[in-house]
Amino acid sequence: MKKLLSGLAIVMLTVLGSRAADPVKTTTGTTGSVVYLTNETFKQQVFNYEINKEWKYAGTLPAIVDFYADWCGPCRMVSPVLEELAKEYQGRIIVYKVDTQKERLLSQNLGIQSLPTLLFIPVTGKPQVAMGALPKEMLVKAIQEVLLVK
């Protein structure tokens, strides 16, 4: 996360675990579904890196952003877990997904080099990043400790 995220005092979370399945594409966030972002919607809903030099989250709920690719095995492993968490934490967090193959400009501007890369964004404060397919227990721990959602 060289360009943008390295300057945000990001804490690396432990990389562990695995699960498997393909993502199901939906477009709603408040219903407990995963929200798929483009470069433009990322700038509107998460962070406009073209305007802001300092981190400024645009959302109102804590969020997880999953940077993935369809060909990535570990990405397919973590996808169903994120789908579960989107439902379990409905109305308390938003789970976003960014297809790095389709959104190369966004991935490049954020310095995404490893997949999956998960960005944990509290409503206030700095985001934190984890790389790899984390097990559900680690994701829940990050939701509770980083996003401050019980």
Q: Which element (helix H / strand E) includes 3?
A: none
Domain coordinates of the chain in residue numbers?
A: 5-145
Across all residues in the chain, what is the average pLDDT?
84
Q: Which element (helix H / strand E) includes 86?
A: helix 73-88
Which pLDDT tens digit goes with each residue over 41-61? 999 999 999 999 899 999 999
CA distance to 12, 24, 129, per residue, from 70 (Å): 24, 11, 20
Architecture of domain 5-145: 3-Layer(aba) Sandwich (3.40)
In this model, does residue 62 exceed pLDDT 90?
Answer: yes
Mean pLDDT (whole number) for 117-133? 96
User: In terms of pTM, does the model score above 0.85?
Assistant: no
pLDDT, residue 30, reads 56
Q: Calculate the dihedral angle through the C-alpha atoms of 90, 56, 143, 45, rounding to the nearest 10 degrees.
A: 30
Q: Using an 8 Å Cβ cutoff, are 82 and 66 in contact? A: yes
Catalytic residues: 72, 75
Q: Running DSSP on this structure, what letter comes out for residue 6?
A: G
Which pLDDT tens digit goes with each residue over 84-115? 999 999 999 999 999 999 999 999 999 999 99
